[in-house]
Amino acid sequence: MRSLTTAATGMMAQQLNVDVIAHNIANVTTTGFKRSRTEFADLLYQDLRRVGTQSSDTATIVPAGVRVGVGVKPIAIYRITEQGSLIPTNNPLDVAIKGRGYFQVTLPDGTTAYTRDGALRLSNDGTIVTADGFALIPNIVVPDNATGISINANGQVEVTIPGQIAPTLLGQLQLATFINEAGMEQSGDNLLLETEASGGPVVGNPGAIGFGTLQQNFLEQSNVNMVSEMTDLITAQRAYEINSKVIQASDDMMQTTTNIR
């Protein structure tokens, strides 16, 4: 019976759906996290009577054939890049991105990764780094005698030096954008990597056309909506249960057939 394998594909699809929902819920407090959505497509169809074929020798055409589907398959886990809400932290090294863009960081192997996590820190030599110690691109080093740090909306980093009236400009933070942000590879640790699907990065200053701005003393929260995730979880659970009922009903029908005497 096709219904056995068809319902089995439905159960496996909903199991993956629940896995994605669970990952979203687990990261509800992860800084800069973007939720994902599972997308599905129907599987191939079996033609028991092909539509459009001739049904007689007088060239009459079958107006509607008999096509039976064999189930469902996952085709993508799509990352939704909508803006998360900003929360104040009162930490001058916490920087949120409002709008499009990613911070660029240098990984230990020399490659470039991208992140929305603006929880920045200072290394032992004063370099501005991520929570994992990866330096931002371009590198900005804060002097030991700096008494205050300011990062404006356009990414300019200034510090106050004792004995100097005017603040000192240390450098310019830059952002990178991609034509297909959903095509970036998630590598964990709040980092994303460039792929063929994402296209190459376009680098520019915050506040420029096509780039977001920065907000010092704030962090971007996860864009996970708990109410929506719980609704999706209940829907996936019910779909899983119904598919299991189909398998049970198919098994009962087969048992009825075998008991015919």
Q: How confident is the model at residue 256 (pLDDT cuts 50, 70, 90)?
A: confident
- Based on the fold, state whether residues 75 and 36 are members of the same structural domain: yes
The total number of structural domains that make up the chain: 2
Alpha-carbon separation of residue 75 from 20, 23, 41, 42, 235 (angstroms): 13, 18, 6, 10, 19
Residue 9 has pLDDT above 90, yes or no: yes
Residue 144 has pLDDT above 80, yes or no: yes
- Based on the fold, state whether residues 148 and 58 are members of the same structural domain: no
- Based on the fold, state whether residues 231 and 204 are members of the same structural domain: no
**pLDDT value of position 48:** 75
- Based on the fold, state whether residues 102 and 26 are members of the same structural domain: no
- Based on the fold, state whether residues 59 and 177 are members of the same structural domain: no
The model's pLDDT over 181-200, given as tens digits with 9 standing for 90+, comes to: 999 999 999 999 999 999 99
Domain, as residue range, for 77: 2-81+224-258
Stated pTM of the model: 0.86
**pLDDT value of position 52:** 72
**pLDDT value of position 105:** 96
Average pLDDT over residues 231-248: 95
Task: End-to-end CA distance of the chain: give it in Å, rounded.
Answer: 21
**pLDDT value of position 2:** 84
- Based on the fold, state whether residues 106 and 214 are members of the same structural domain: yes
